[in-house]
Amino acid sequence: MSSLEIKDLRKRFGNVEVLKNINLAADSGEFIALVGPSGCGKSTLLAMIAGLESVSSGEIRIDGRVVNDAAPKNRDIAMVFQSYALYPTMTVRENMSFGMESRRVPKAEQATTIARVAEMLQIEPLLNRKPSQLSGGQRQRVAMGRALVRDPKLFLFDEPLSNLDAKLRIEMRAEIKRLHDTVGKTTVYVTHDQVEAMTLASRIAVMFGGVLQQYDTPREIYRNPVNRFVAGFMGSPTMNFLDATVGEGGLVLDGGAVVPLLPDQFPRLSTGRKVVWGVRPEHFSPAAERRAERRGGVSVPIKAQVDMLEPTGAETILFTRISGQKALISVDADDAPEAGAPTQMAVDMGKTCLFDPETDLRL
Amino acid sequence: MAETTHADFDALSTGSLRRRITAKAIVYALLTVFALFYLMPIVIILANTLRPLDDIVRTGFIAWPADPSLSHWAEAWSTFCIGGTCEGVSRYFKNSLAMAIPATIISTMLGLINGYILSKWRFRGADLLFGLITLGVFLPPQMTLLPWAWVLGNVGLSNTISGLILVHVVQGVSFTTLFCRNYFLAIPDDLIKAARIDGAGFWRIFRRIVLPLSPPIVIVAVIWQFTGIWNEFLFGTIFTSGDKQPITAAIVAFSGSGTGERHYNVEAAAVIMAALPPLFIYLVGGKYFVRGLTSGAVK
Ligand SMILES: Nc1ncnc2c1ncn2[C@@H]1O[C@H](COP(=O)(O)OP(=O)(O)O)[C@@H](O)[C@H]1O
Ligand SMILES: [Mg+2]
């Protein structure tokens, strides 16, 4: 059964529509990531689920019950804020007990719950401190602790890691995953970081401009993006988009290079049609390797002019021009060619996709 | 609250030794002149409270007490005749306390609640309402005299201390609302949202989240209100008479009586008594006053 169900949801601030017809459902215990660029409406959607923003039209159900008009406290949710929103004048313990006090949980039960959660998050030594005496990572833990003492039907996270430095962010990401595995509650997690979404979520909702672009598993979103926006947003470095025309022998890239298409790959394409060819940087490899073939795919050769190298450690990013169009290629650091020279690459053809240049939809 | 210390920036600590010494000398000389200028009236008045009347009449206002005596203080407090009654200023002093303390407390509390609503529970027209409330800050009180006379007459509070409390509460709410609302804007909305999800309602959020963050602005409002209400004499003189007057209005009567000889020494003591409570409040809370006006304070 779905524990969260959103139907035809819209949100207007004045006459600006910031959420347009959102449809979404999460199964019990699922981890849903809401991802999209800043300003696309993620926080607004989360606030509506929490009951902090009103619903303009549509329906939100939690555990089957319509909660459109229910107060936040009656929705059985817990939320972790980007700013942590710890009560500054209360100790960590008081921060965690505040909600239980409001709901008249007996004192003894409060104490055992706090002890259990504090142990789970390893924040026992911090219980008597004020938020101002905590580091960023500790505040983050306390904010999660305050949510965990609730034992709610639904956990809501609004960019909980975006104020942490890179190393801590990766640690806490793993921690959140571990917690979700232990607690097993339905979670909606807002982030603008596609890596967080890919690593944590069982399903990802990609949003852009108030519209839900695609809602699917991380694997499907990565492999079969429905449009150019999703393809470009998910994955790093971002997917290359090369302008091309469908020709007799395959794709004719603007600039002249020809890429043979696989038989039956795009059967409905008529010759002469303009398309955008999408290739992820990681689906290039040095021609000699024949990596695609080793995995049962088919590679096609392509020539790239390497302008600049950007070593990142394990892999090196090549800034190249393919048929005169800019493209990023990611290769193993040991395979990196010299800058300033043309080099022969192979593309795993089965993993590339075509988009309509007018509608940006995937073909 | 964490004590913050600032490393003082000393603009005079650079340059050659000679330049530094000259610069400091000039700064200190100027400061001393100004300090003396402000302190002089207080010193003169204090000195006069200790001098016998004939000495003041003979040698004039500016002189050092030859034969100091505290008796004029006692007289000013309990036996001096003002406006026909000979009870000193003690009665008026108590009137002022009975007016200023409740008026300060009530207007500060109303300001806190108004500020809380106008910053954290915003509604359509909240900004307009805020604008109207703070308009009171800029209205000269003289403009409100006639309406107040009418209101006090109609609710039966003419010539009562309660009437003055009402006037000062309403006049003061403009200021306290302005202070508190602007201060509360610095409290992150996420705190309120988190508390709502935690099941707290309007008053519980106010009591447990907002009020504990408010001491700096409460101190500002209390000092501002108390000194303002205590020192105010226009409403006091016009809306009360006889033994209902606050001390400022009673002191105004000194200069108005005209008949008989002036008791400069007793009057000086009375004036200082009238000035003490605001001074006391400022000395106690002044440190926080300056800090509250200047710092964000919410972290
Ligand atoms: N209270 C509000 N009034 C008017 N517009 C708002 C309000 N809150 C958010 N918006 C607008 O709605 C859009 C989505 O905001 P938000 O949900 O915060 O985006 P995100 O969290 O994805 O960055 C933004 O364009 C923002 O300016
Ligand atoms: Mg946001």
Please check whether residue A266 is in contact with residue A227, taking contact to mean a CB–CB distance below 8 angstroms.
no
d(CA B212, CA B206): 9
Q: Hey, are the CB atoms on B196 and A89 less than 8 Å from each other?
A: no
Q: Burial code of A77-107, b = ≥16 C-beta within 10 A, e = fewer?
A: bbbbbbbbbbbbbbbbbbbbbbbbbbeeeee
State the burial class of residue A49 (Cβ atoms within 10 Å of its Cβ: 0-12, 13-18, 19+): buried
Is there a single domain that holds both residue A197 and residue A305?
no
Among B62-66, B78-82, B129-133, the range of highest mean pLDDT: B129-133
Is there a single domain that holds both residue A221 and residue A267?
no
Please check whether residue A79 is in contact with residue A43, taking contact to mean a CB–CB distance below 8 angstroms.
no
Facing residue for A83 by CB, picked from B2, B190, B204: B190
Is there a single domain that holds both residue A47 and residue A167?
yes
Torsions phi, psi of B151, nearest 5?
A: -60, -50
Query: Which residue, chain included where needed, has tokens 């609710």?
Result: B155
Chain B nearest C-alpha distance from A356 (Å): 42
> pLDDT tens, A17-55?
999 999 999 999 999 999 999 999 999 999 999 999 999
User: What is the pLDDT averaged over residues A169-173?
Assistant: 90
Is there a single domain that holds both residue A225 and residue A264?
no
Share of chain B above pLDDT 90, in %: 48
Is there a single domain that holds both residue A70 and residue A14?
yes
Number of domains in chain A: 2
> pLDDT tens, A225-244?
999 999 999 988 899 999 99
- Residue after which a domain boundary falls, among A229, A253, A282: A229
pLDDT tops 50 at residue A179: yes
Per-residue pLDDT, B105: 97
A362 assigned to some structural domain: no
Please check whether residue A72 is in contact with residue A51, taking contact to mean a CB–CB distance below 8 angstroms.
yes
Looking at domain B81-297, which CATH architecture does it have? Orthogonal Bundle (1.10)
Q: Hey, are the CB atoms on A52 and B196 less than 8 Å from each other?
A: yes
Per-residue pLDDT, B6: 54
Q: Is A37 left (phi over 0), alpha (psi -120 to 50) or beta?
A: beta
Q: Which of A10, A11, A12, A13 to mutate to test the pocket of ligand 1 (most atoms within 8 A of CB)?
A: A13
Is there a single domain that holds both residue A250 and residue A317?
yes
Closest to A101 measured CA to CA, from A149, A172, A66 = A149
Torsions phi, psi of A32, nearest 5?
A: -105, 130
Taking the CA of residue A159 as reference, the ligand 1 atom at the shortest distance is 21
Q: Reduced to 3 states, what is the DSSP secondary structure of residue A284?
A: strand
Residue ID of nearest Cα to ligand 1 atom 14 = A41
Per-residue pLDDT, B298: 42
Is there a single domain that holds both residue A179 and residue A269?
no
More confident residue, B151 or B14: B151
| Residues written for chain A | 363
What is the domain-level CATH number for residue A167? 3.40.50.300
A1 pLDDT band (50/70/90 cuts)? low
Torsions phi, psi of A236, nearest 5?
A: -150, 130
> pLDDT tens, A105-120?
999 999 999 999 999 8
Arithmetic mean of pLDDT over chain B: 86
pTM over 0.90: no
What is the domain-level CATH number for residue A255? 2.40.50.140
> pLDDT tens, B157-167?
989 999 999 99
Per-residue pLDDT, B210: 95
Is there a single domain that holds both residue A31 and residue A134?
yes
d(CA A233, CA A75): 32
| Structural domain containing residue A70 | 4-229
- Residue after which a domain boundary falls, among A207, A229, A251: A229
A363 assigned to some structural domain: no
A235 assigned to some structural domain: no
Residues 6+ apart with CB under 8 A from B257: B83
Judging contacts by C-beta atoms under 8 Å, the chain B residues touching residue A83 are 188, 190
Model ipTM value: 0.87
Is there a single domain that holds both residue A133 and residue A248?
no
Per-residue pLDDT, B1: 38
Q: For the range B153-158, what are the long-range contacts, defined as Cβ-Cβ under 8 Å and sequence gap of 24 or more?
A: B158/B239
Share of chain A above pLDDT 70, in %: 99
A221 assigned to some structural domain: yes
B299 contact A CB<8A:
yes
A20 assigned to some structural domain: yes
Per-residue pLDDT, B8: 62
Residues 6+ apart with CB under 8 A from A117: A96, A145, A148, A149
pLDDT tops 50 at residue A191: yes
Please report which ligand is nearest the Cα atom of A42. Answer: 1
B210 contact A CB<8A:
no
Q: Hey, are the CB atoms on B213 and A52 less than 8 Å from each other?
A: no
Closest to A306 measured CA to CA, from A287, A326, A290, A289 = A326
Per-residue pLDDT, B291: 66
Q: Which of A17, A35, A40, A44 to mutate to test the pocket of ligand 1 (most atoms within 8 A of CB)?
A: A44
d(CA B70, CA A175): 75
Judging contacts by C-beta atoms under 8 Å, the chain A residues touching residue B216 are none
DSSP A87-147: -TTS-HHHHHHHHHHHTT--HHHHHHHHHHHHHHHT-GGGTTS-GGGS-HHHHHHHHHHHH
DSSP A141-197: HHHHHHHHTT--SEEEEESTTTTS-HHHHHHHHHHHHHHHHHH--EEEEEES-HHHH
How big is the CA angle at A132 (ends A131 and A133), to the nearest 5 degrees? 90
Task: Return the half-sphere exposure (C-beta side, CA atoms, 13 A cut-off) of residue A23.
Answer: 3
> pLDDT tens, B15-35?
788 888 888 899 999 999 999
User: What is the pLDDT averaged over residues B175-194?
Assistant: 94
Task: Return the half-sphere exposure (C-beta side, CA atoms, 13 A cut-off) of residue B98.
Answer: 17
Is there a single domain that holds both residue A134 and residue A195?
yes
- Residue after which a domain boundary falls, among A190, A207, A229: A229
